[in-house]
Chains A and B, each alone.
Chain A
Amino acid sequence: MLALTMTAPALAMDPQPYAVVGDTIPLSLTGGRGDPAKGRSIVATRTQGLCLLCHSGPIPEERLQGTLAPNLAGAGSRSTEGQLRLRIVDASRVNPDTIMPPYYRTDGLERVSKSFAGKPILTAEEIEDVVAYLLTLREAP
C-alpha cells in the first residue's frame, strides 16, 4: 500500500519508454485515447502547454499568440497521429535544430531549474490529450 502510493507519482513523472518508427511514435504513450477538450485547454494555457508562446492557433479567446512557429490550424491534416506524437514528445528527432521544446524528454538537458529537474514538460496523458486535440484541427488557417 505504502509502496504503491510512493511510486505512483514517480511513475507518472518519469518518461516511459516508447518506440519511434520512422518519423512517428505509432502507439499511444498511455495505451488509451486522449481527450481533445483537455488537449485544447493545455495548448491554450501559456504556463502549461506553452504552445502559444511560439505558435498561433484557432483559439480566439487567447489574444496573445506567438509568431515564432507555424499556425497550428490544419496541424491534424498536415501530419499523422504518430507524427504529431513524436513532434510533441521530442521535436529534435524531427528537426535537430528546432527551438520547439522536447515535451517528453528529460535527458540531454542542461541546468534545468530545480523545480522542473527530472520532469518532462507534459505527462504522457497530457501529450495524448494534445495529440487528440491537434487531430481535430483539419482546416488550414
Chain B
Amino acid sequence: MSRQGLVALACLWIAGLAGLVSWGGQAAEIPLQDRQSGYQLMTPETRAMQDDDAANPGMLWVLDGEALWQRKDGRANLSCADCHGDARQSMKGVAARYPAVDPGLQKPVDLEQRIEMCRTEKQQAPPLRAEGKDLLALAAYVARQSKGMPIAVVEDDHTRPFISAGREIYERRQGQLNLSCANCHDDNSGKRLAGSPIPQAHPTGYPLYRLEWQTLGSLQRRLRNCLVGMRAEPYAPGAPEYAELELYLMWRARGMPMEAPGVRP
C-alpha cells in the first residue's frame, strides 16, 4: 500500500485563546460522561458545514461511493451491491463496529482494509490505492450508513489483546518531542496547542473532510499527522499499529454517535 500526499502535512497546530492553568499533572482516562467529540470544539461555521449535507464536502465522496457500490468490477465481474444489496440496509451500523477482528487473519482490520479484502478476494480486482479517491469514497459511503448510531466496538476475548496493544501505543512517549498521545488528548484536551484546541481524539467522523487537507482523509492519515507532529517515525502504511490504535480509539469512544463524513479544521 502506498500512502500518497500525506507527507509534510502534519498537524499544523494553529490559532489562539486562553484556557485554565494546571501544568504537569498526569490525568487518567477521560471519564465516559466527560467525553466530547472534536465537533464540540469547532466554530459554528464549521459545525454548520458538517451538519448540512448540501455544504458538507464529504458528501461528494459519499455520492461517488454510491456509484462505485453499483459498479461491477474484477474477474468476478460483481458489484458490491450484487452481494450486499442495498447498502442502506446491509451496511447500517457496520462502520460503528470497525475495526473488527477478522476471524481468518486473527487481527483487527479497519473499514478501509475490510473493503479492500472484498475488492481483492470477492471481486477479484486489483487493490484500490490506499488513501485514494475510490477507497475513501467507498469507505465514506459505507460509514455514512452508520451516521448517528452509537460506536459499538466491544471489549471481548477477541478484541481485548488488540485494545490493550492500542492503549499501550497511545500512552507511550515517542518521537523527538517525547510526547504520548495521552499527554495531549487525555491530559490537555480543551487547551490550545499554539492556537488549536486539542480535541479528545474520538474518531467519530472518519473518513472526514479536513479543511487543512482540503480533501477527505482516513483516520490513519490523521494519526500519521499527529505522529509527524510529535516528530515520531510514522508506522509503515497498513502496519498493525494503526489498526490497534484505531481499535483502542473506537473502544474509548464507545457509545458516542458516528458523524461520518465529518468536517474538521
By a beta-carbon cutoff of 8 Å, the part of chain A in contact with chain B is 46, 50, 52-54, 56, 63-70, 92, 95, 97-99, 101-102, 109-114, 116-117, 119, 121
B68 at the interface (CB under 8 A from A): no
By a beta-carbon cutoff of 8 Å, the part of chain B in contact with chain A is 13-21, 23-26, 172-179, 183, 187-188, 191-195, 227-228, 231-234
Cβ of A96 to closest chain B Cβ, rounded Å = 10
How far, in whole Å, are A92 and B175 apart by their CA atoms in the complex?
A: 15
A66 touches B233 (CB 8 A): no
A54: chain B residues within 8 A (beta carbon): 193
**How many contacts between A and B, using CB within 8 angstroms?**
89
B178 touches A68 (CB 8 A): no
Known: A50-B177, A102-B178. A114 touches B233 (CB 8 A): yes
- A101 touches which one: B16, B23, B177, B192 (CB < 8 A)? B177
How far, in whole Å, are A33 and B234 apart by their CA atoms in the complex?
A: 38
How far, in whole Å, are A46 and B26 apart by their CA atoms in the complex?
A: 25
How far, in whole Å, are A109 and B188 apart by their CA atoms in the complex?
A: 21
Known: A64-B16, A98-B24. A109 touches B193 (CB 8 A): no
B24 touches A97 (CB 8 A): yes
How far, in whole Å, are A66 and B195 apart by their CA atoms in the complex?
A: 6
B191: chain A residues within 8 A (beta carbon): 66-68
A sample of 16 cross-chain residue pairs with beta-carbon separation below 8 angstroms, ordered by A number, consists of A46-B194, A53-B193, A64-B14, A65-B192, A65-B194, A66-B193, A67-B19, A68-B188, A68-B191, A70-B23, A109-B175, A109-B176, A110-B173, A112-B176, A112-B231, A113-B234
Cβ of B88 to closest chain A Cβ, rounded Å = 42
By secondary structure, the B interface counts as loop
B26: chain A residues within 8 A (beta carbon): 97
A110 touches B172 (CB 8 A): yes
Q: A65-B195, A99-B24 are in contact. List 13 more A-B contacts (CB 8 A).
A: A53-B194, A64-B16, A66-B192, A67-B18, A69-B23, A92-B178, A99-B188, A109-B174, A111-B174, A112-B231, A113-B176, A117-B176, A119-B176
B187 touches A63 (CB 8 A): no
B13: chain A residues within 8 A (beta carbon): 46, 53
A102: chain B residues within 8 A (beta carbon): 178
How far, in whole Å, are A69 and B191 apart by their CA atoms in the complex?
A: 10
Known: A67-B19, A101-B179. A113 touches B195 (CB 8 A): no
Cβ of B166 to closest chain A Cβ, rounded Å = 16
How far, in whole Å, are A102 and B178 apart by their CA atoms in the complex?
A: 7
Max chain B Cβ within 10 angstroms of own Cβ: one of A50, A67, A69? A67
- Closest A residue to B192 by CB, please name it: A67
A111 touches B178 (CB 8 A): no
Max chain B Cβ within 10 angstroms of own Cβ: one of A52, A56, A65, A99? A99
